[in-house]
Amino acid sequence: MSAGFKCKQFFVGHDQCAMKVGTDGLLLGAWASLSNSNAMSAGATLLDIGAGSGLISLMLAQRAATAVVHAIELDANAAAQAAYNFQQSPFASRLQLLKGDILTYQPAERYALIVSNPPFFDNALLSADLQRNQARHTASLPLPLLLAKAAELLAVDGSFALILPETTAQAFSQLASAQGWFASASCQVLSRADKVPVRRLMQWQRSPAAPAQQQLVIYDESGGYSEQYRQLLRDFYLNF
């Protein structure tokens, strides 16, 4: 078995991907709401932008048992690995890998739910690894263009969920509001209760909403996973 991450219902190989399976992807795949869109309706189609290893797509396919999930990935190695991960999963018939650039993607359909764990490093030193740069830095997918493209691809009653560093979230929220988006949910993620937030999970839609404000703590005082984190990931982690 290649290097990767084993979940209760599927395995995610990631040795060919610049960004490995990590907490950000696991959080987004488990947290993104399927109820404030038509994502749970029969035949709904969901979109994972920048799929990487395919982790989030696989999580969504497990959670939304009748949905079809399209995953678009620019990097050839990651796309090939995600496609293989899909083929080996119990959800293979409902997963489709699209190799290409989201900014030039022109599908005939619109999506009930769009998710993205986007590149978020800005004004940071680039490494010698071009694949890793593409996966990590906003130059490969600027956030204003990501928002505009999500608006273009979203169904009327759909929603867009993503995860960003807390330091980026406020500026992103202002940008989203300026582009006509409305927050339906926001969750600050803390490593421990006594630490500052490090990530923010957000879900957006195109119609007015009263956003649900949440907070999630990953580790408890003893250094183990918190009960809150265990409850969120219980359908995926082998030992939860």
Task: Report pLDDT for 124.
Answer: 40
Q: Output the pTM of the full model.
A: 0.90
- Tell me how far the alpha carbon of residue 173 is from its chain's centroid: 17
206 has pLDDT over 90: yes
Contacts of 4 by beta carbon, 8 Å cutoff, 6+ apart: 11, 12, 13, 14, 15, 21, 53
Q: What is the pLDDT confidence band of residue 123, given thresholds at 50, 70 and 90? A: very low
Q: Can you read off the two tokens belonging to residue 53?
A: 């290893």
> Which of the 8 DSSP states describes residue 225?
B
Contacts of 90 by beta carbon, 8 Å cutoff, 6+ apart: 9, 10
Average confidence (pLDDT) over 33-60:
90
Task: Report pLDDT for 16.
Answer: 85
Q: Return the sign of the alpha-carbon dihedral for residues 164, 37, 156, 104.
A: positive
Which 3 state secondary structure label does DSSP give 37?
coil
Q: Can you read off the two tokens belonging to residue 152?
A: 């273009």
127 has pLDDT over 80: no
Which structural domains are found in the chain, ordered by start?
Answer: 4-233 (3.40.50.150)
Residue with tokens 């040795």: 15
Higher pLDDT, residue 141 or 72:
72
Segment 69-121, tens digit of pLDDT: 999 999 999 999 999 999 999 999 999 999 999 999 999 999 999 999 997 64
**What is the C-alpha separation between 17 and 53, in angstroms, rounded?**
6
Q: DSSP labels for 9-55? A: S-EEE-TT-SS-S-HHHHHHHHHS-SSSSSTTSTT-EEEEES-TTSH
Terminal Cα-to-Cα distance of the chain (whole angstroms): 22
Count of all residues that appear for the chain in the document? 240
- Tell me how far the alpha carbon of residue 120 is from its chain's centroid: 13
**What is the C-alpha separation between 211 and 182, in angstroms, rounded?**
8
Q: Return the sign of the alpha-carbon dihedral for residues 98, 104, 108, 109.
A: positive
Q: What is the pLDDT confidence band of residue 5, given thresholds at 50, 70 and 90? A: very high
User: Bridge-partner residues for 98, per DSSP?
Assistant: 72
Q: Which of 28-37, 170-179, 183-192 has the lowest mean pLDDT?
A: 28-37
Residue with tokens 């997918």: 141
Burial of residue 120 (CB within 10 Å: 0-12, 13-18, 19+) is: buried
Q: Which of 32-46, 58-72, 176-190, 225-239 has the lowest mean pLDDT?
A: 32-46
